[in-house]
Amino acid sequence: MAARYQDLGDGIYCIDTDLYRPQMAACYLVREGDAAAFIDTGTYHTIPSLLEVLAELGLAAENVRYVIPTHVHLDHAGGAGELMARCPNATLIVHPKGARHMIDPSKLQAGATVVYGEEGFAKDYGKLVAIAEERVINATDGYQIDLNGRTLVFYDTPGHANHHGCIFDQRSAACFTGDTFGISYREFDTEKGAWIFAPTTPVAFSPSEWHDSLDKLEALHPSAMLLTHYGRVTEVSRLLHDMRISINKLSGLAHAELDAPAGRVGRLREQILSMWLEEIFKAGTDLSEGDIRSLLAVDAELNAQGLDVWLQRLVKAKTSL
């Protein structure tokens, strides 16, 4: 299948990673002259498409200077090792808490195999390739990346994951947000604009830190947010407000289940889907309930699992006092 990508202008290209379905997950190519950087990589299976896009733009793997996963969840960084292996001049830029999993991905692969099974993991994610430690830079908050004179700035943005960073492009004033600015699938766009929600994927949901991270992004006055799930959104102020509401609603649903752990994930999944359905229909979608449930099934399950893990953590912290 030919790579699907969109030229967003300013030397930025949004590339569909074809995970599960079209327009579910993206990564980004930033070009400055003869130098390129990838922000997020998709999975092992994505890498031929990334190199195909490079070739269509008249660049080679040798032109890639940086590979920058926003965090090490496999839909964002599963292909980082293979991409680094194909790009001999590239350096990996990653959050310090995620670096060890890129250098030795065995624990990531073992954990994912338990979740998806060996066959499922191989089908959707392929394999994880280790990256030599000397090719990895641990990026702290404010770390600046020079791409042929174009400055990209790495910001520490926990909340969705404690090893999450966002990248601000000073040239375009756009921010590559990974999952920190939420998930906004284009299928749910209406005349009222985009719909967005917070992904509370296991295992490090932290509402207070997430709100702080949104404050940090807001202070940058970005022209657009470039989401891994999915694409560019420009209604930054409204969607920032909606993201805050989403975080609060989801944590509220979870708190109501704090003392009832039996069957909690299933109940949370249905409550989340019901909440999302109400929001989406209020926005004026033409999609059917069945279509919406199908498009959001994976996210609802992951959000429910993540909230359950968060509640377990709250109980553990309370009992340890």
Q: What is the pLDDT of residues 60-110, one digit of tens each?
A: 999 999 999 999 999 999 999 999 999 999 999 999 999 999 999 998 888
Q: What is the C-alpha to C-alpha distance for residues 259 and 279, in angstroms, rounded to an integer?
A: 27
- Give the containing element (helix H, strand E) for 102: helix 96-103
Cα(99)–Cα(81) distance, integer angstroms: 12
d(CA 175, CA 152): 9
Mean pLDDT of 174-190: 98
Question: Structure pTM?
Answer: 0.95
Residue ranges of the domains in the chain? Answer: 5-231, 237-319
pLDDT at 275: 98
Classify domain 5-231 at the CATH class level: alpha beta
pLDDT tens-digit series, residues 268-281: 999 999 999 999 99
Which tokens sit at 162?
Answer: 């404690």
Which pLDDT band, with edges at 50, 70 and 90, does 215 fall under?
A: very high
Q: Give the model's pLDDT for residue 114.
A: 75
Q: What are the Cα distances from residue 95, in Å, to 141, 149, 258, 316?
A: 9, 22, 31, 27
Q: What is the pLDDT of residues 27-59, one digit of tens each?
A: 999 999 999 999 999 999 999 999 999 999 999
Average pLDDT, the chain: 95
* pLDDT digit string, tens, across residues 128-165: 999 999 999 999 999 999 999 999 999 999 999 999 99
